[in-house]
Amino acid sequence: MTCTLLSLGHGFSARALADVLLPEGWQVIGTTRSADKMAQLSATGITPILWQAEAVTEALQHATHLLISAAPDAEGDPALRMIGPDIARHAPALEWAGYLSTTGVYGDHAGGWVDEGSPLTPSSRRGQMRVAAEQAWADIPELPLHIFRLAGIYGPGRGPFAKLRKGTARRIIKPDQVFSRIHVEDIAQVLRASIAQPNPGAVYNLCDDAPAPPQDVIACAAEMLGMPVPPEVAFEEAELSPMARSFYGESKRVSNERIKKELGVTLRYPDYQSALAAILAAEQASE
C-alpha cells in the first residue's frame, strides 16, 4: 500500500521531509493558500491542494500520515479551526500524526538545560499560543499524535549567510544569552525515524548538540565567507522588532537525548560549524 502524507502548512520543514519521502515512493499532499503556487508545488512532486476545509477533509480520507506545521494565530490553531477537533473521524487510515511545535514552550531558563519533562512556562504570547495548540491537538481522541518541539531552524537559503551577504547581519550581545538550533535536514530525519517507530503521545525536542550565543554563529559564518565579522551591538542599543526582541527574552540549552535514545537518530549536523560548512559547500557546488 502506498503511504500518503498530508502536510498542513507545507513550509520549510515539511518540504525537507517530502524530499526524504518522495524518493521512497510516498505520495505527499501539501496545502497552499494560493492557487498561484499549486503549479510550483506540483513541479516538486507534491500533490497540491488549497487550504480549504472541503479539500483537506477529502485528503484526510486517504492519508496514512499527517504533519501539522501551520503556526497558531491570534484565534488559535488554524488547522483545527478549519476542520474541527473530530479530525480523526475523517482519517480512517491514519497511522501517525506529527505536530511541529517550538522549544519556546519552555520559556526562559537563564541558560539552563531543559528536556521534554521540563515545565512549560512560556514567557511570550507566541509561546503561550503554542502550549495551547499542543494541548488542543493532544486532546483529540484516537489521534496518533507525536509532538516535536523545534529549536531555531536553519538550512540552505535560511541562515546567517544570506544576512551577511545582504549586509543585515548583526552581532547583538546580551550577556549569558544562548540558543539551541537545528538544521532542517535533521528535522526531516527525526520525523522519518518517528514515522518508522510510531509512539503516540511521545514528545521530542529537535535541536543539535551545541547551544551557542547567536553572535558566535554570525562570526563563524562571516569567517567562512571571508567577510569582516560584524561589530558587536549591545542588546540595549539594538533596534529590534517586537518578535526579534522576544527571542532574546529567553535563554536556554535544550537537550536532544530522547531523539537519540528512543529513535536512534545520529545527527548529520551536531553543531552549527559543521552545518554552516555543509551549506556553504553546497552553495559553491551549485554555482
Distance in angstroms (rounded) separating the CA atoms of residues 268 and 225 = 22
Checking if the pLDDT of 158 tops 90, the result is: no
Checking if the pLDDT of 174 tops 90, the result is: yes
pLDDT tens per residue, range 81-114: 998 887 888 899 999 999 999 999 999 999 999 9
| pLDDT interval class at 121 (50, 70, 90) | very high
pTM value?
0.95
Give all domains of the chain, ordered by start, each with its CATH number: 4-154+181-207+255-269 (3.40.50.720)
pLDDT tens per residue, range 251-274: 999 999 999 999 999 999 999 999
pLDDT tens per residue, range 19-63: 999 999 999 999 998 888 888 899 999 999 999 999 999 999 999
Task: Give pLDDT, residue 249.
Answer: 87
Checking if the pLDDT of 231 tops 80, the result is: yes
Q: Which residue has the cell 526524504?
A: 20
Task: Give pLDDT, residue 237.
Answer: 87
